Structure 1
Amino acid sequence: MNTESKRQQRFAGVIQQDLGELFQREGGAWAPGAFITITRVRMTPDLAIARVYLSFLNTKQAKDDLANIKSHANEIRYKLGARIKNQARIVPHLEFFLDDTNEYVEHMDKLFDEISKEPRQPE
């Protein structure tokens, strides 16, 4: 398993916080009506690429909203650069991914509920 260095983790935290504030203020322009949460940011070892995982609440078309955000990636990167210009030498390229952890948890909960409802076999 590939572990991230402290430097990568620290920079990912900065990116996550600043992107979170950016999406809170301006996310409605890219995904109208959706509440967007940045669940995780992973940095490449050279800090040139940030893989940003987004979770969408209050929307039925999360994939469409994600596609819209991807199409505005350069604009988002520019606005992020204005925020972190004093903290980083380069502004990383942003790659956005859908974080479907909540859907996976709900699916697993349903499976466990179905299993618990099945009659037990005598031993």
Structure 2
Amino acid sequence: MEESKRQKQVAGLLNEELSDIFLRLGINMIDGGMVSISSVKVTPDLMEARIYLSFFQIQNFKEVLKKIEARSWEIKKMLTSRVRHQLRIMPFLSFFHDDTLDHVFKMENLLNKVKQDDESIRKENEAND
């Protein structure tokens, strides 16, 4: 089902404000790596916001996700004070790992390997001719 205009507006607002909150609280740099908000999805009733986080150069993303969830009350408190005039009800925040970048890196590695294999086969064929 496609998102409504209001869902997209609320998701955009939450994404913008959460990005600034992460920066202010220092959550964007954890354990020597970077954390960024890749997307925010809001349920049709606007009661839950699913925040998808991308992790860069972080080995144990589950541990970092736990650290962020431990500070979720602080994040929600700051977010509530920022959006209290735009939203009637503050949605429940859920944090998830967005593994899209992991898939992109895996695909790139596979494509590079195929390209290298093709190059070596081409060179072997040229040597045999």
Same fold (TM over 0.5): yes
Could you say which residue in structure 2 is the equivalent of 1:78? 77
2:48 and 2:27 map into 1 onto residues whose CA distance is 25
RMSD in angstroms over aligned alpha carbons? 2.1
TM-score by length of 1: 0.87
How far did residue 58 of structure 1 move? 4.2
Alignment of 1:1-123 (within 5 A): 2-28=1-27, 31-118=30-117, 119=121
Identity percentage over the alignment? 38
Aligned length: 120
Once the two structures are overlaid, the 10-residue window that deviates more, 58-67 or 105-114, is 58-67
1:116 and 1:34 map into 2 onto residues whose CA distance is 30
Q: Which amino acid aligns with 2:8?
A: Q
Q: Which amino acid aligns with 2:109?
A: K
Q: Which has the larger radius of gyration?
A: 2
Unaligned regions of 5+ residues in structure 2, if any?
none
TM-score by length of 2: 0.83
